[in-house]
């Protein structure tokens, strides 16, 4: 079954043009023009990827993103004409997996979607990683601290899994980019920092304090449970 994309933007010309291109490239596409409708359809249709414009009537894209992230494992891509670092950080902190600045080409967006979807390893065998109160279920792609589920974005989950699989190993940012996004990365290395900070905050809020994810100054990150 081709991946299902939900595209939410109040620019009808944009959504129709993207829908035509993405369908020609092998995706199934649903389009909506307001945030509340996007949330309703996402809950009903369970899309693989949700693309959200930040400025939408009904409910803005960031709020839709935050709401969906608490209840869905769908990949979320934000669209915006604003290119400030603060806007990007705000969207990523609310659970977005990627951020695309307008104007952009349909071909670029399609390439980003394909890169994101390649990270969904559906064939992962049933398994679990544990450290003290932290548990990762690889088959369900779920995380729990002290038995309580922790809602992570797909990117946060993949980062935690990569670090936890090789404790004490220092991962440079460039290596984490390659592991998580592959050769199709279209962003800045600072995006890795933003996702790590958000992941660490969620684990600490869930009761995993001190957090075993450490910053290695000038290099990257490591899972160092003994420190």
Pick 59 or 95 by higher pLDDT. Answer: 59
Task: Give all domains of the chain, ordered by start, each with its CATH number.
Answer: 4-117 (3.40.50.2300), 128-223 (1.10.10.10)
Q: pTM here?
A: 0.58
List phi, psi (to 5°) of 37: -65, -35
State the pLDDT at residue 149: 92
User: Could you read off the pLDDT of 89-120 as tens digits, one per residue?
Assistant: 777 778 888 888 888 899 989 988 988 887 65
What is the pLDDT at residue 225?
Answer: 77
- Which residue, 170, 146, 167, is CA-closest to 226? 167
> Could you give the CA distance from residue 12 to residue 128 in angstroms, rounded to a whole number?
44
Cα(60)–Cα(49) distance, integer angstroms = 17
Q: Phi-psi region for residue 22, left (φ > 0), alpha (ψ -120 to 50) or beta?
A: alpha
Residue 20 reports pLDDT greater than 90: yes
Element containing residue 145 per DSSP (H, E): strand 142-145
């Amino acid at each position: 079954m081709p991946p299902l994309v939900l595209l939410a933007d109040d620019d009808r010309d944009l959504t129709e043009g993207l829908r035509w291109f993405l369908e020609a490239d092998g995706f199934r596409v649903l389009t909506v023009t307001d945030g509340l409708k996007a949330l309703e359809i996402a809950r009903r249709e369970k899309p693989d990827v949700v693309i959200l414009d930040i400025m939408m009537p009904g409910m803005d894209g960031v709020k839709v993103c935050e709401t969906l992230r608490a209840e869905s494992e769908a990949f979320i891509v934000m669209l915006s004409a604003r290119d400030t670092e603060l806007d990007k950080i705000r969207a990523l902190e609310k659970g977005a997996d990627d951020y695309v600045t307008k104007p952009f080409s349909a071909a670029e967006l399609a390439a980003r979607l394909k890169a994101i979807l390649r990270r969904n390893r559906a064939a992962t065998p049933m398994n679990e990683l544990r450290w003290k109160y932290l548990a990762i279920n690889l088959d369900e792609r779920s995380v729990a601290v002290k038995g309580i589920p922790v809602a992570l974005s797909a990117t946060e989950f993949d980062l935690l899994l990569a670090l936890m699989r090789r404790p004490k190993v220092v991962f440079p940012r460039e290596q984490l980019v390659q592991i998580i996004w592959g050769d199709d990365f279209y962003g800045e290395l600072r995006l890795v920092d933003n996702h790590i900070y958000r992941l660490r905050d969620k684990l600490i809020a869930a009761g995993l304090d001190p957090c075993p994810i450490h910053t290695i100054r000038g290099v990257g990150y490591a899972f160092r449970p003994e420190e």
